Homo-oligomer: A and B are copies of this chain.
């Protein structure tokens, strides 16, 4: 394979479409093109890069997927901030393909939710607290409908993340939460006592957060997480099995 007296490195010809994508990406990351600004039309890019139209288009597809560019009202290509949800969805899919277990998900999610609620207790504003209270009220109203409660539970934890005012935590918690919260519905459907316990935990958490009580926030989030895992086990699921893809339809569809 490799000759003894090699003098030259292997030439790795990078495809032109990749170079096009790299060039545009560099401009955006270096902030020479700001989010919201137009990239230019395909014809302009063809002229600037000196490659064919098809090549430019392939390059654009690469960036489109990563969320760095975005076609505005159908037409113009503009630079954009990659949105969290998009990235989170990809991460979730990767986790599914890697067949992670519920235990792994639970451990990570618990740690992240606790860290998040502690920050929420520190930084929550009146606005967000009002939203949280509204959420808890809605959950009480919907307590007979497991699907609605599960949906509101997901929203509750997103609001806590919003209250934390920490975008890194928001970003880090989203992929696992996307995977784990759908199981809430299954748990609630099987366990009668699930809904009242969930509502109590949520109410206590909102109380603690609104009092800026970090310790109580942490404690109730921990209890909430433990309930959740116990619910999973009592629903007859094995925490060491890969999470069931059957229940994850919502993650698979874009």
Q: Which residues of A pack against B, CB within 8 Å?
A: 17, 22, 26, 28-31, 35, 54, 57-59, 61-67, 81-82, 84, 87, 90-91, 93-98, 100, 104-105, 107-112, 114-115, 119, 166-169, 171-173, 175-176, 245, 252, 254
Contacts and interface: CB of A to CB of B under 8 A. Distances in A.
Contacts of A169: 104, 107-108, 111
A75 to B, nearest CB: 10
Contacts of A115: 107-108, 110-112, 115
A107 B65 contact: no
B252 A95 contact: no
Interface of A is mostly: helix
Contacts of A35: 97
A93 B93 CA distance: 19
Given A65-B65, A107-B115, A172-B172, 18 more contacts: A29-B97, A54-B54, A54-B57, A61-B61, A61-B65, A62-B65, A67-B90, A82-B90, A87-B94, A90-B90, A91-B171, A95-B167, A104-B166, A105-B168, A107-B119, A112-B112, A168-B176, A172-B173
Contacts of A254: 22
Chain B CB count within 10 A is highest, among A54, A61, A167, A254, for A61
